[in-house]
């Protein structure tokens, strides 16, 4: 295992780029291409499902700069994939670019994607592994856990007052957060494969759960609209729609709901509400990240955003890693990932290094 003097600096830059990508069904990956003197020729990161991966993005960036990549060195935070999904194999893109060597931090352990390093070696590239592997693994710890469990990645979206109320005592909740926050949340709806609500929320609020573009039109790609629970969904409920994208998962067990959705091909699901559904997923340790929109108001006696089993002491609290803080109109969006805990499927993980809170938005 041989690394050049500049490799650690360049890999840390690749990790910074990776952290800009969204958590979700795909790992966060960053890539940097450099000449033998350590001068950066191109860089990129994965912007989310369906978009080019970090490696071809860095190659395209170098092409825009007019750089010659023949014999150059790429540093990437995850082993390049070797399969065709929504995009082509990154291993092929690296070979076609004429790069001479590649260093990656962590191996890709997913059966359908691994093998990129071997393919690159067969093509004549010098490939070295393991530089800052722990940092890369920590960045994608929730993705790795989701892959090992064979379930979708779960994002819980909350919209509350400062005192954590999602509705007033009479149930009114339109609108706690601003129009800007509601429009911003559509970016998450457009990205996920399924949006989940409890049947109680369906009966109380009659939500549509469609994904919309910034101009208010329905997005071309619509997620599954899923009602979870044992109560019947009325024939005329808005969630049913007319496009065949409605599912009623008749269970109160969050793990069973995720098994059903995984069988449907869902890799990333969003919890929209209500408090019973969110509480059940949190109690089961099945929430991987939260998008929490906080509005600058207080609602005395308001309804809590989740119905949880009470924590006996502070040691029973769910610890989170704050990923970013963003001002959305008059509101604030906190994006956090949950830490693994010994009683919920894995060892406790240390928090990653502090990052620029606006990095995800660059």
- For residue 144, CA distances in Å to 108, 148, 351 come to 10, 6, 16
Active-site option among 55, 79, 92, 323? 55
Contact of 274 with 198, CB cutoff 8 Å:
yes
Q: Are strands 165-167 and 126-129 parallel, antiparallel or unpaired?
A: unpaired
- For residue 152, CA distances in Å to 50, 129, 315 come to 16, 28, 28
Q: Is 55 a catalytic residue?
A: yes
State how far the Cα of 43 lies from the Cα of 74, in Å rounded to an integer: 9
Nearest by Cα to 48 from 155, 180, 129: 155
- Match 């769910």 to its residue by tokens: 318
Q: Say whether the peptide bond before residue 175 is cis (omega within 30 degrees of 0).
A: yes
Tokens representing 210? 């469609």
Active site residues: 55
């Amino acid at each position: 295992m041989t690394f050049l003097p500049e490799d650690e600096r360049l890999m840390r830059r690749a990790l910074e780029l990776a952290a800009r990508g969204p958590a979700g069904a795909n790992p966060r990956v960053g890539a940097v291409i450099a000449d033998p003197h350590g001068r950066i020729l191109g860089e990129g990161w994965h912007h989310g499902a369906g978009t080019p991966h970090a490696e071809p993005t860095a190659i395209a960036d170098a092409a825009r700069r007019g750089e010659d990549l023949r014999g150059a060195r790429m540093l990437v935070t995850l082993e390049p994939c070797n399969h065709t999904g929504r995009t082509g194999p990154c291993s092929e893109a690296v070979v076609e670019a004429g790069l001479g060597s590649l260093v990656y931090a962590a191996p890709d352990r997913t059966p359908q994607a691994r093998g990129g390093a071997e393919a690159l070696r067969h093509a004549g590239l010098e490939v070295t592994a393991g530089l800052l592997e722990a940092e890369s693994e920590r960045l994608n710890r929730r993705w790795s856990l989701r892959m090992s469990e064979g379930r979708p990645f779960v994002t819980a979206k909350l919209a509350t007052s400062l005192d954590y109320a999602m509705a007033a005592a009479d149930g009114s909740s339109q609108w706690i957060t601003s129009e800007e926050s509601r429009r911003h949340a559509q970016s998450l709806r457009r990205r996920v494969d399924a949006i989940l609500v409890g049947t109680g929320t369906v009966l109380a609020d009659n939500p549509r759960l469609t994904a919309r573009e910034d101009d208010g039109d329905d997005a071309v790609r619509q997620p599954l609209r899923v009602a979870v629970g044992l109560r019947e969904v009325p024939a005329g409920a808005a969630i049913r729609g007319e496009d065949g994208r409605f599912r009623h998962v008749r269970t109160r067990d969050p793990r069973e709901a995720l098994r059903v959705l995984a069988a449907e091909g869902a890799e990333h699901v969003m919890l929209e509400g209500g408090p019973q559904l969110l509480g059940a997923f949190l109690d089961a340790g099945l929430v991987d990240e939260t998008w929490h929109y906080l509005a600058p108001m207080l609602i005395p006696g308001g309804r809590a955003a989740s119905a949880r089993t009470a924590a006996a002491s502070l040691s029973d609290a769910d610890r989170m890693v704050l990923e970013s803080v963003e001002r959305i109109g008059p509101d604030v969006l906190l994006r956090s990932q949950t830490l693994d805990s010994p009683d919920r499927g894995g060892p406790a993980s240390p928090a990653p290094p502090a990052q620029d809170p606006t990095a995800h938005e660059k």
